[in-house]
Structure 1
């Protein structure tokens, strides 16, 4: 769907749920709140402009691969998307510029990850939704361990998740990654963290201390302000949640009607 307010901007929806927004003339423009938060993390994972080896699980309209290619030229990026028809649609209607260093893989995210070499990525971005839910096989401790294996020692994992109070799903995901990574952050709108509504939350995991002050300033001053939780408050949020094993894994919760509706 074209955006009438921006000449070459497009909104991609899948089964009625908004999935991606891209401006072909301004790839640095991130429209969705969660995408802006992922962008803030990508801006702070390394010194500005440094190319990264990135893996994107979930393709959509390739919003973040375009963003990373524009803000960190020379980056090598793999995009893994199970929906081959979606990749073809995006390639036909919203083609990537030549020389962006992005390789598309029509494959299941976890299967591709399991075949990836050890310590081969600087950044792993997970934004995988089957319709409006994260598939169950991407919500287990075994999946988190695969992510940890593929990332380098200074690598960073980012995931777009969605939940609402009492946050059973979100707490379980944090518990999974706490088993694998030393550092965890959670970025979300204060109203979501207070349990007032269903919404997105960005999970960040790393083996090294993150630049929390810089990320906090960026997210707080954004057009859509968000809060960064880390340290003791985040551990308190996790509470007694336990990691989830494959045999017990379930998809993320179904959003309430209208949670991500578009006008």
Structure 2
């Protein structure tokens, strides 16, 4: 990338560090102490996003890199892709996708209007129609999607609880949500979930079971420690109707090799390994439009 192009990208970013009032509490923007030139967004004290203004394809969070790897082995760079991002925050993955796939279009969905405005004003996001930012509830947006109206749906939605942790609202985790996403992305699309939870993997198995009823192929991505239920962390779950990795882009062997090459080596479960992970667990049947009270 030329120096001139880097300067053009940086000039579009107007990051103002500080603590901001948002609808759901407070947001803080501050320099990342571990990555020069990067910023972190904290929501109510919890790290939510990392932003590297002049390098949108450089992703600091492991689960975001796993999502990028998965999509990179499924779609060529010149693909015309329609992305729906359920969960907005700093729109880091929308910035990544707009840069990685120049012909793509992105819509982010975030219920917090002030957070959406903060992201738009600070993080140099491409303007509509490349990145549209919608203030709405993710379940309601998913429920109204038409068949084959998106190519990629990424669910990255968490809410704070009275216990001080963060969970995905239950109405987004059940079979109805998975089936609606499967209809929305059609036979060639992909539905990606950022699952985050404790060492108790039963909720993760329920989510994977829901995907397995809605999609022919379910790929699970995480590190070995998380898969063994030894720590709190993330699992990226991908539902597709065809094998995740495109043979023309290297196929599943190249995909799994790329995961192993990560700074924290990751692994993928698919086929029989996914079936073993689910191990007969039934999916949640929570209706998609049931609004949950905050725990």
How much does 1:222 deviate? 1.1
Aligned to 1:153, what secondary structure does the other structure show? coil
> Which consecutive residues of structure 2, in runs of 5 or more, have no partner in the other structure?
1-29, 161-165, 246-251
| Aligned residue among 268, 282, 286 for 1:228 | 268
With structure 1 as the length reference, what TM-score do the two structures score?
Answer: 0.90
Aligned to 2:39, what secondary structure does the other structure show? strand
- Of residues 10-19 and 23-32 in structure 1, the stretch that sits farther from structure 2 once superposed is 10-19
Q: Which runs of 4+ in 1 moved over 3 A?
A: 4-8, 97-100, 247-251
In structure 2, the residue matched to 1:121 is: 150
User: Contact 1:60 / 1:86 at 8 angstroms: preserved in 2?
Assistant: yes
| Aligned residue among 201, 208, 214 for 2:235 | 201
Aligned to 2:64, what secondary structure does the other structure show? helix
How much does 1:224 deviate? 2.0
Q: How far apart in 1 are the matches of 2:107 and 2:68?
A: 17
In structure 2, the residue matched to 1:147 is: 181
Q: How far apart in 1 are the matches of 2:178 and 2:244?
A: 19
Aligned to 1:161, what secondary structure does the other structure show? strand
- Of residues 55-64 and 131-140 in structure 1, the stretch that sits farther from structure 2 once superposed is 131-140
With structure 2 as the length reference, what TM-score do the two structures score?
Answer: 0.80
User: Contact 1:165 / 1:195 at 8 angstroms: preserved in 2?
Assistant: yes
Instruction: Give the RMSD, CA atoms, in angstroms.
Output: 2.1
User: Contact 1:120 / 1:150 at 8 angstroms: preserved in 2?
Assistant: yes
- Of residues 42-51 and 84-93 in structure 1, the stretch that sits farther from structure 2 once superposed is 42-51
In structure 2, the residue matched to 1:41 is: 70
Q: How far apart in 2 are the matches of 1:233 and 1:129?
A: 27
Aligned to 2:95, what secondary structure does the other structure show? helix
User: Contact 2:70 / 2:244 at 8 angstroms: preserved in 1?
Assistant: no
In structure 2, the residue matched to 1:10 is: 39
Q: How far apart in 1 are the matches of 2:274 and 2:291?
A: 23
User: Contact 1:139 / 1:250 at 8 angstroms: preserved in 2?
Assistant: no
Q: How far apart in 2 are the matches of 1:129 and 1:21?
A: 16
Q: How far apart in 2 are the matches of 1:181 and 1:247?
A: 18
Whose Rg is larger? 2
